[in-house]
Amino acid sequence: MSKIDIISMENLPGVAALEKRLGVSRRDFLKLCSGIAATLGLPSTAAAEIAQAVASPAKRPSVIWLHFQECTGCSESLLRAEHPTLDRLILDVISLDYHETLFAAAGHQAEAARKAAMEANKGKYLLVVEGAIPTKDGGIYCKIGGQTAIEMVKECAAGAAAVVAIGSCASWGGMPSTGPNPTGSSSVGEVLGKPVVTIPGCPPNPYNFLATVVNYLTFGKLPAVDQLGRPLFAYSRLVHENCERRAHFDAGRFALEFGDAGHRQGWCLYKLGCKGPETYANCPVIGFNDVGEVSWPVGCGHPCIGCTEKGIGFAKPIHALAELKSVQPPLGYPKVDEPRGVGATIASAAAVAALAGAATAATYNLTKNLGKNIAVEGDKPESKERAES
Amino acid sequence: MTMDRRQFLKGMLAGGAVAATAASAPAEARGNLTMPPKAMGLLYDSTLCIGCKACVSACKESNHLPPEYSTEDQLWDTPLDLSGKTKNVIKMYKSGTGDHKDQEEDGYAFMKHSCLHCVDPSCVSACPVSAMRKDPVTGVVTYDPGDCIGCRYCVLACPFDVPRFQYDKAFPKIVKCELCNHLASETNDTRFQYSACAQVCPTGATLYGPTDELMVEAKRRLALKPGTDHTVPRGRIDGKDSQMAKAATYVPQVYGEKELGGTQVLKLAAVPFDKLGFRDLPERSFASVSETMQHSMYGYLITPALVLGGLVVAAKRSLRDDEDNQE
C-alpha cells in the first residue's frame, strides 16, 4: 500500500462513500483513524493505511483462527514478526475475523462474529488452527462456547477454502499428545480426516506461516508441501544441513558437556543431544526475531530439541542422541581396502623382464670374458680344470 | 660319491640327534602370554559409530600429531590410513548402493583402526632391543624412541599393520597408539584425562576401561535381542555418562577375544570382520609360534652345532675327494 497523506484522502470516492455506509462525516472518520493509529502506537502513515484499508471496497481475505490445546506461543511468535508486522498483516493483508487473543469482542459477540464471517465468506475464508484437539471421551476436554473442539474445527473447516495447522500441537499433536496423552490429543489433519497444511514448531517461525499465507493470497493456492503437509520452502532440509555449527561436526569437534571448553567455543552440540540431524526445519537459515544468528536454540548454545518433528520433539529425551538421517558416508572416508597405487601391469612387468634379461646377458658375457682372460694368461691344466667345473 | 661304513654311522648319529631335538621341541613350546592383571583397553562398537571422526581429531590433539592431507585443497585432516602422522583412523566399508548402516549388502559400516594392544604382541616379540614394551600391569604396548634402533621389525611383525614409521623425518620414530598413557603424567597439558578417542566419542562407540569389564559389556550387547532399547556407557565404562541405544544385529563374535591369544582392544560389528579389515586369525599368537621355533633352534646351540658340524663334514669330504683325484 502506498503512503498517502491522510488529509488528501478526504476527496477519495471510497471515503466519500463511507458517509453513507457508516453514517459519519468524512472528517470525523479520518480523525478516528488517526486516533486509532496513535493509540496503537503506530506511525502516522498507519492512519492513512487504516483509513484506506477500511474504505477499500476490495475485500481482504477473511481468516478465522481457532485456539484449542495450546499455549498461544504460536500467536506470540506471530506478534513478533517484523515484516510484515502483525498490525500490517491484520489491517492490510487479511481480515482477522476471529482470534481469541486478539479480538476485541467477547462471549456471544465473538462467536456471532465468527458465524457471520463464516457465512459471509463461505468457501473463501482461511482457517488457521492453533493447538491440538482432544478426542478422548467425546472431546469434552476442550470446549469453547459450549462446543467441543472437534465440533468447532469440523464446523469451521466445512466452509473453509484452506486449513492451515500452525504449531506442532495442531500439526501432529505436539506436547499435549505426549504419552500417556490423557486427553487423546490429536492433530487437525487426523480429526478432519484429510491432509492440511502444517507449520510445525514450538513455536513455529512466524515467517513460515506468513510466507504460506502470502503465497496463498498472491497466487491463490498454498505452497508445495511434503507428505506431512509441511511447506517445502521451509521444511525440506534438516536443521543439521544448514547449521552454523556444522563445520565443527565435520571436523569432529564436539562440546562434551555444558560449559566445557568446546561448548564455550561454539562447537557442535550433537553429543549434548542436538536433534538437528533428524529434524526438518529452517531455523538455522532464518533465525528468530530478526536479530541474527544467536536467536535460535543451537545459536545460543542449547541443542535442538526437534520441536517440529513428530516422534522427536516432546517424545525423545532432550539430551538423547539423534539418529543421523542424512549421513550416508561421503567419499572422503578412507575405505577399509583403500587402494594404494596399482599392482604390476603388463608394461611394467615387461620392463622389469627386459632389464633382468639384459642383466643376465651382461653377466654371462662378463663371465665368458673372465674365463678367456684366464685362459690366455694362466697355464694350461688349471684352465682346463676350471672349464670342467 | 662313495661312502664308507664309518661315515655312514656318523651320519646316522647326527640324524638321530636332530630327530631327538625335534621330538623334544613341543614340550618346550612357549604358549600364549596371559592377560596382565589390570589390562586396560577399548571397546569399539561399529554399530554405534556414526563416523564423525571426533576420535581421529582428538587423537591428533592429544598426541600432538600434525594433520595429514589427502585432498588437493589441503583444508581438512584427511588421513587415509594409519601413518607416521596418524595413530587412529575411522575407515568405511561400503557395498552396492550403500544405503543402510550396518548392512553387508547395499550398506555401509565404520571401523576404527588403531593398535589393539595384543595380549601377546608380535611387535614386542620382534623388537631386537626393548623399544617396544608391554606394560606388565596395564598391558599397554608402549614405544620408547630412546631405545629404538629404527629396524622397523615391529612394522613388519604386526599382524594388524599398526606400527608405522616416519619415513619423512630426518630422525624418525615409530608411531602407534599407546592408549594415551602419556595423559596420566602430571605434565598433561591437554583437555583429556584418559584415552582421548573414548573421551570425546559422542555415542559411546569407543569405550575405555579394564578389558575384563569391557568384555562383559560386549557379551551383554551380543546377548541382546536386536532392536531392544538399552543403555550404553559413554567415555569410560566406570563413568557416569551413558546414552540410549538400540541393539543391533551383531556378528556373534567379539573380535579380540581369541584372535592371536586375545587383544585388549575389543570390537563389535554387524558386518563380518573380514569385510572391515580384520581377518580371521588363529588362537595361537604368532609371537609364541616364532619364539618357540627360534628357541628350539638355538636351544643348547643344537642348530649352530649341526650346521657347523655339517660344514666340517662337507669340507673334509671334498678334501678327501681332491686327494682321491690327485692319486
Give the tens place of pLDDT for each residue, B168-217. Answer: 999 999 999 999 999 988 888 888 999 999 999 999 999 999 999 999 99
* Residue (of B265, B220, B228) closest to B244 by Cα position: B228
Task: Say if residue A361's pLDDT is above 70.
Answer: yes
Instruction: Say yes or no: A251 contacts chain B, CB-CB below 8 A.
Output: yes
* Residues of chain A positioned with their CB less than 8 A from the CB of B203: 321
Task: Give residue B24's pLDDT.
Answer: 47
Task: Say if residue A123's pLDDT is above 70.
Answer: yes
Range of the domain at B45: 40-284
Q: Do A329 and B58 count as a contact with CB atoms less than 8 A apart? A: no
Question: Which of A261, A320, A333 is opposite residue B191, by nearest beta carbon?
Answer: A261
Measure CA A311 to chain center.
16
| Better-scored residue on pLDDT, A333 or A155 | A155
DSSP H or E segment with residue B236? strand B235-236
Task: Give residue A190's pLDDT.
Answer: 94
CA distances from B97 to A120, B24, B101 (A): 57, 57, 11
Among A75-79, A92-96, A151-155, B22-26, where is mean pLDDT lowest? B22-26
Instruction: Say yes or no: B193 contacts chain A, CB-CB below 8 A.
Output: no
Q: Do A333 and B79 count as a contact with CB atoms less than 8 A apart? A: no
The DSSP-derived string for A101-142 is TT-S--HHHHHHHHHHHHHHTTTTPEEEEESBEE-GGGGTTS
The DSSP-derived string for A45-97 is HHHHHHHHHHH-SSPPPEEEEEE-BS-SHHHHHHHT-BTTBHHHIIIII-EEE
Instruction: Say yes or no: B110 contacts chain A, CB-CB below 8 A.
Output: yes
Q: How far apart are CA B157 and CA B80, in angstroms?
A: 21
Q: Report percent pLDDT > 90 for chain A.
A: 48
Using DSSP bridges, classify how beta strands B174-175 and B164-165 pair: parallel, antiparallel or unpaired.
Answer: antiparallel
Q: Do B184 and B306 belong to one domain?
A: no
Instruction: Say yes or no: B244 contacts chain A, CB-CB below 8 A.
Output: yes
Taking all residues of chain A, what is their mean pLDDT, rounded to a whole number? 84
Q: Retrieve residue B208's grid coordinates.
A: 575405555
**Nearest CA to CA, how far is B202 from chain A (Å)?**
5
Among A271-275, B9-13, B107-111, B243-247, where is mean pLDDT lowest? B9-13
Q: Which CATH class is domain A237-328?
A: few secondary structures
Task: Give residue A378's pLDDT.
Answer: 46
The DSSP-derived string for A255-313 is --STTSHHHHTT-B-GGGT--GGG-B--HHHH-STTS-TTSSTGGGT-----TTSTTTT
Buried b or exposed e, range A277-313, using 16+ CB within 10 angstroms? bbbbbbbbebbbeeeeeeebbbbebebbbbbbbbebb
Task: Give residue A181's pLDDT.
Answer: 93
State which residue of chain A sits closest to B235, comparing Cα positions: A256
Q: Do B213 and B316 belong to one domain?
A: no
Q: Do B56 and A252 count as a contact with CB atoms less than 8 A apart? A: yes
Q: Retrieve residue A218's grid coordinates.
A: 498472491
Q: Do B175 and B315 belong to one domain?
A: no
Angle at A36 between CA A33 and CA A39, to 5 degrees: 150
Q: Do B26 and B45 belong to one domain?
A: no
Q: What is the pTM of this model?
A: 0.76
Question: Which of B57, B58, B92 is opposite residue A333, by nearest beta carbon?
Answer: B92
Taking residues B104-117, report their average pLDDT. 94
Instruction: Say yes or no: B8 contacts chain A, CB-CB below 8 A.
Output: no
Q: How many CB atoms are located within 10 Å of the residue B55 CB? A: 27
| Better-scored residue on pLDDT, A21 or A295 | A295
Instruction: Say yes or no: A249 contacts chain B, CB-CB below 8 A.
Output: yes
**Nearest CA to CA, how far is B111 from chain A (Å)?**
8
Taking residues B25-53, report their average pLDDT. 86
Q: Do B276 and B294 belong to one domain?
A: no
Q: Do B224 and B314 belong to one domain?
A: no
State which residue of chain B sits closest to A256, comparing Cα positions: B200
Instruction: Say yes or no: B96 contacts chain A, CB-CB below 8 A.
Output: no
Q: Do A328 and B98 count as a contact with CB atoms less than 8 A apart? A: yes
Using pLDDT thresholds of 50, 70 and 90, give the confidence band for residue B294: confident
Question: Which of A253, A320, A340 is opposite residue B243, by nearest beta carbon?
Answer: A320
| Better-scored residue on pLDDT, A30 or A210 | A210
Q: Do B297 and B224 belong to one domain?
A: no
Task: Say if residue B100's pLDDT is above 70.
Answer: yes
Task: Give residue A52's pLDDT.
Answer: 66
CATH number at residue B145: 3.30.70.20
Q: Report percent pLDDT > 70 for chain B.
A: 89
Instruction: Say yes or no: B173 contacts chain A, CB-CB below 8 A.
Output: no
Instruction: Say yes or no: A329 contacts chain B, CB-CB below 8 A.
Output: yes
**Interface mutation target, options B55, B80, B230, chain A, most CBs of A under 10 Å:** B80
Q: Do B309 and B209 belong to one domain?
A: no
Q: Do B242 and B149 belong to one domain?
A: yes
| Better-scored residue on pLDDT, A327 or A264 | A264
Task: Say if residue B323's pLDDT is above 70.
Answer: no
Question: Which of B50, B94, B243 is opposite residue A327, by nearest beta carbon?
Answer: B50
CATH entry 3.40.50.300 includes domain A59-235: no
State which residue of chain B sits closest to A249, comparing Cα positions: B52
Q: Do A324 and B276 count as a contact with CB atoms less than 8 A apart? A: no
Report pLDDT digits (tens) over A23-59: 667 787 777 667 666 665 566 676 776 676 566 546 7
State which residue of chain B sits closest to A324, comparing Cα positions: B50
State the count of interchain CB pairs (< 8 A) between A and B: 78
| Better-scored residue on pLDDT, B150 or A33 | B150
**Nearest CA to CA, how far is A242 from chain B (Å)?**
17
Q: Do B200 and B299 belong to one domain?
A: no
Question: Which of A252, A317, A335 is opposite residue B94, by nearest beta carbon?
Answer: A335
State the Cα torsion A85-A90-A91-A97 to the nearest 10°. -170
Report pLDDT digits (tens) over A163-203: 999 999 999 999 999 989 999 999 999 999 988 999 999 99
* Residues of chain B positioned with their CB less than 8 A from the CB of A252: 52-58, 200
Q: Report whether A93 contacts A209 (CB < 8 A).
A: no
Q: Report percent pLDDT > 70 for chain A.
A: 82
The total number of structural domains that make up chain B: 2
Q: Report whether B90 contacts B53 (CB < 8 A).
A: yes
Q: Do B280 and B294 belong to one domain?
A: no
Domains in chain A: boundaries = 1-58, 59-235, 237-328
| Better-scored residue on pLDDT, A61 or B217 | B217
Q: Do B133 and B266 belong to one domain?
A: yes
Using pLDDT thresholds of 50, 70 and 90, give the confidence band for residue B68: very high
